Amino acid sequence: MRARADAGGRRRWLAACAACVGLLPAAADAEELPLWEIGLGVAGLYLPDYRGADQARGYALPFPVVFYRGERVRADRDGLRGRLFDSDRIELDLSLGGALPVRSERSDARRGMPALDPVLELGPSLVVRLARSEDRRRAVELRLPVRAAYAVDGGGLRGVGAVFAPQLRASWREAAWGWSVGASTGPMYASRAFHQYVYGVEPAYATPDRPAYRARGGYAGAHFTLTADRRRGALRLFAFVRTEALSGAVYAASPLVRRSTHVLAGFGVGAVLAESSRRVPAAD
């Protein structure tokens, strides 16, 4: 039992890292910055058990601070990115996402059902720059990430479908008092397999209050997200708040869906502990 609990903790931490790394602040525009920086941070998060759950929890989780500014591979405020193609207007990146695990014994809606393993999402993202100021501190982008989703269990990775989350994003670097801010919004979509993994109820787990349910693929709701981040010496600060509306989602009839709106929030601080002596031009 202890080994299983330790493994679950490691998987929970890995999923949290995937979520937190994308929220780390970018460096302010400067002539040159270290090729890489590494350190440690801690994040406080308030999240629903899953989208549509009526229970939410607070988390205090450590995460690695990692910046890498290579020509083709980068880790920055936009997460881990592998630039497959880049022009003045269009960029093709690798996109990373994730979700924390859900222990069914702690969820009233899922009690008696198998736990939801942490999920890692990976895939390409097409970025279209719609507008950008001459100093490149203000920008409007259309982001089109398509990611395959994998549940992380003791046996490794198991495919659980795919997600598509187009979003319109506006960003302002160093908008006030050294803080950079961003706002994004857009619909969310996922495949039948992904919705079945989260919202499906097999006949073996059906109860009078939880009938069997087979999910469909398609529209999964919409979100509006605000972010803020700041670089102050060796410290990296970030905060976010996100609202999600599930009205019209194809899985809304699932007995596991008990709320149609959510508010998610988080904040964190990281400290850079080491950096390269090699300097490179600051990224756009």
Region class of 204: left (phi > 0), else alpha (psi between -120 and 50), else beta: alpha
234, two tokens: 């060796």
Per the CB < 8 A criterion, the answer to whether 5 and 101 are in contact is: no
The arithmetic mean of pLDDT across residues 23-46, rounded, is 74
What average pLDDT score do residues 233-245 get? 93
Give me the chain's average pLDDT, please. 86
Full-prediction pTM beyond 0.85? no
Calculate what percentage of the chain has a pLDDT beyond 70. 84
Give the residue, 144 or 24, on which the prediction is more confident: 144
Ranges 21-30, 59-68, 88-97: which has the least confidence: 21-30
Percent helix / strand / coil, the chain, rounded to 5: 10, 55, 30
CA dist 23 to 30, 67, 100, 239, Å? 20, 12, 16, 8
Residue 283's pLDDT band (cuts 50, 70, 90): low
Would you state the pLDDT for residue 136?
79
34-36-39 Cα angle (round to 5): 110
Q: Is 41 exposed, middle or buried (0-12, 13-18, 19+ CB in 10 A)?
A: buried
Indicate the pLDDT class of residue 280, thresholds 50, 70 and 90.
Answer: confident
- Domains of the chain (ranges; CATH) run 2-28+35-276 (2.40.230)
d(CA 149, CA 146): 10
Q: Is the pLDDT of residue 187 over 50?
A: yes
